[in-house]
Amino acid sequence: MSKHEFAAPEPKLDEHQEWDAVIEAKHSLFAINFKELWHYRDLLVLFVRRDFVTVYKQTILGPLWFFIQPILTTITFTIIFGNVAQLSTDGAPKVVFYMAGITLWNYFSTCLTSVSGVFNANAGIFGKVYFPRLIMPLTIVISNLMKFGVQFLLFICFVLYFVFQNQIQPNVWILALPLVIVFMALIAMGIGLILSTMTTKYKDLNQLISFGMQLFMYATPVIYPSSAIPTDYQWLVNMNPLVGLFDYMRYAFLGVGSFAFSDFIYPAVFSIIVLFFGILVFNKVQKTFMDTV
């Protein structure tokens, strides 16, 4: 009997067979599967929970640091910039004026610096298991949003105190706060994604980014109102898309300064454009970053 009589039959491939999942290389810069991001939403929630728990797990005061940091910073700014330097606050109480700027700035700066180092910080997990890489930047933005919420509640407590003292007058513009937070998140994420493509190759760029954020704070009305900017430099400062957002914060909650709905146009357009380019370059670098990280 020949050996061919015992040969197992070759399996027949079903041309119409559908697979549950297909993992393949995507070569186009625009190959962004948003449906896949939604499919991994449980992983996103898990990462957000991890960030919130692990950061303060082995600390003595735990989540109280969410309150301590803005309070100490506000006290420092009040003494140095309010009492010593005598910077204008447009007539608003100094404490609540600086806290308004600090609350927004902490969220923006933390998101940007963290997103810019997302490849280096997660190289271990990126090299072991597959999941949409945009999950990590989204995790950073959402987890810091929780921190912003805690600090914002502290800010509201101070606002209510000065409202009862008849020293400030909030207005209906406070309802637009979610829109401002979205603009801040998109701008921070977009710029962070662009910078993340460079920090994979140049590690010392992380130090430069941290230093640059400190300088950028002084180009943003965090410790001073826009009205204090000399006329000759108004056009230069107004190129900063964050200026209108900080003006909104003080106008809506403190009733000082000026603001119009048209001030949202520039931040909105800028946030969409920078996020679009940020996702493009991130999508390109994520395919080869393990070779340089």
In the prediction, which pLDDT does 7 show? 53
The better pLDDT of the pair 127, 290 is held by: 127
State the average pLDDT over residues 266-270. Answer: 95
In the prediction, which pLDDT does 178 show? 94
pLDDT (tens digit, 9 = 90+) per residue, 157-189?
999 999 999 999 999 999 999 999 999 999 999
In the prediction, which pLDDT does 42 show? 87
Residue 3 has pLDDT above 70, yes or no: no
In the prediction, which pLDDT does 261 show? 86
In the prediction, which pLDDT does 9 show? 56
In the prediction, which pLDDT does 21 show? 62
In the prediction, which pLDDT does 177 show? 94
Q: DSSP labels for the chain?
A: --GGGGPPPPPPP-TT---S-------STT---HHHHHHTHHHHHHHHHHHHHHHTTT-SSGGGHHHHHHHHHHHHHIIIIIIIS----TTS-HHHHHHHHHHHHHHHHHHHHHHHTHHHHTHHHHTTS---TTHHHHHHHHHHHHHHHHHHHHHHHHHHHHHHTTS----GGGGGHHHHHHHHHHHHHHHHHHHHHHHTT-TTHHHHHHHHHHHHHHTTTTSS-GGGS-GGGHHHHTTSTTHHHHHHHHHHHH--S---GGGGHHHHHHHHHHHHHHHHHHHHHTTTGGGT-
pLDDT (tens digit, 9 = 90+) per residue, 199-239?
877 777 878 888 899 899 998 999 999 888 888 888 888 89
In the prediction, which pLDDT does 153 show? 92
* Band of residue 63 on the pLDDT scale cut at 50, 70, 90: low
**Of 50-59, 161-170, 252-261, the least confident:** 50-59
Residue 293 has pLDDT above 80, yes or no: no
Contacts by 233-239, CB closer than 8 A, 24 or more apart: none
CA distance 205 to 291: 18
In the prediction, which pLDDT does 61 show? 58
CA distance 134 to 149: 23
Residue 6 has pLDDT above 70, yes or no: no
In the prediction, which pLDDT does 58 show? 58
In the prediction, which pLDDT does 232 show? 86
In the prediction, which pLDDT does 8 show? 52
pLDDT (tens digit, 9 = 90+) per residue, 80-95?
998 888 888 988 999 9
State the average pLDDT over residues 57-65. Answer: 63
In the prediction, which pLDDT does 77 show? 92
State the average pLDDT over residues 14-36. Answer: 60
* Band of residue 282 on the pLDDT scale cut at 50, 70, 90: confident
> Is the separation of the CB atoms in 147 and 53 below 8 Å?
no
Residue 13 has pLDDT above 60, yes or no: no
In the prediction, which pLDDT does 252 show? 94
State the average pLDDT over residues 60-64. Answer: 62
